Amino acid sequence: MSKKANDQSFEGITQKFAKNIYATPKGQLRLAVLERDLAPLFQRATPLRVLDVGGGIGQFSEAFAKQGHNIVHTDISAEMVTTAQRRHQQHDLAEQYSYHVASLQQLPELLRGQTFDVVLCHAVLEWLAQPEQAIAVLKSLLAAKGTLSLMFYNRDAKIMANMVFGNFDYVEAELVVKKRVRMSPQQPIAPAAMEQWLAAAQLAVLQRTGVRCFHDYLRDRDAASERFEQLLRLEMKYNQQAPFAALGRYQHWQIVHAD
C-alpha cells in the first residue's frame, strides 16, 4: 500500500521537531517512561529483532541497541532517517541498525514477510489519516510471541487539558480547528476506540501506562523545568495507577497476540 495523502511527515522540519519535542521536559518524560516500561525487554540476554516504526531521529530504540539487539529503523521522512543514522554513528551504535525510508503501510511489502520480537510504534498513529487500519499492519509485523510497544496521543486527555485551561469552544467543536498546527497531532485517539481496534485484531493489552499524567495540567509551566526530577518521580509513581494513568497525554500500551 502507498502512503495516504493525508498522512503527515516532518520532512524539512526535523531540527525544529527535535528541539520542540525531544529537548524539553515533556520529551524527557516520554523517554524516561518508555525506558522504564521497556527495560524487561531490552535487558534480555538473547538478541531480539526490533522494528522501530516511525522511529524519527532514533533515540527511543537506543536502549535496545546498547544491549546488543538488532533494530530496523524506519521513518516516512528521509531527513529523519539520515539524522537518526548520524546520531547512531556518533553514539557508536550504527552497527546494530539497518534503515529504511518508508511509511507504515509500505512495511509488509518492503520487509517481505519478516516478523519481529519487538515492534515499537511511538507517537505515529495520531498522524495517520486512517489510524485504525495501521493495527492490522502492525500485527502482521509482530512475531507470534512478540510485543508491540504502542504509544498514542490520548483524545480523552486532550479534552481534559483543554477544559482545565478554559478552551470550552474548542472542546464543543470536537477538537476541530480551521487552521491546522503542523506539529500538533490532528488525529488524537480515544482509548475506548483503541480497545475496540485491538480486540477486532485479536490483540491483547498486557500493560498500560500514562505518559505525562501531570505535566500537561500544570498551571505553573516553569515548574516542569525547575523541579523536573521531582515531577519525574511523581509521574513514575502514579502513571500506572487509576485514575492518573488515564489522564496521560499519551498512552503507552504493551500489546501481544491474544490467540
Q: According to the 3-state scheme, what is the secondary structure of 192-250?
A: HHHHHHHHHCCEEEEEEEEECCCHHHCCCCCHHHHCHHHHHHHHHHHCCCCCCHHHCCE
Establish whether 27 is an annotated binding residue.
no
- The count of other CB atoms within 10 Å of the CB of residue 103 is 23
Q: Are 8 and 187 in contact (CB under 8 A)?
A: no
> Can you tell me the distance from the alpha carbon of 50 to that of 44, in angstroms, rounded to the nearest whole number?
12
3-state secondary structure of 129: coil
CA nearest neighbour of 16 among 76, 61, 83, 63: 83
Reported residue count of the chain is 259
Question: Which residues are CB-contacts of 141 (< 8 A; sequence separation ≥ 6)?
Answer: 51, 53, 107, 108, 111, 114, 115, 116, 119
Establish whether 146 is an annotated binding residue.
no
> Can you tell me the distance from the alpha carbon of 77 to that of 8, in angstroms, rounded to the nearest whole number?
10
Establish whether 54 is an annotated binding residue.
yes
> Can you tell me the distance from the alpha carbon of 12 to that of 15, in angstroms, rounded to the nearest whole number?
8
Q: Are 158 and 188 in contact (CB under 8 A)?
A: yes
Q: Which residues are annotated as a binding site?
A: 30, 54-55, 75, 122
Q: Which residues are annotated as a binding site for S-adenosyl-L-methionine?
A: 30, 54-55, 75, 122
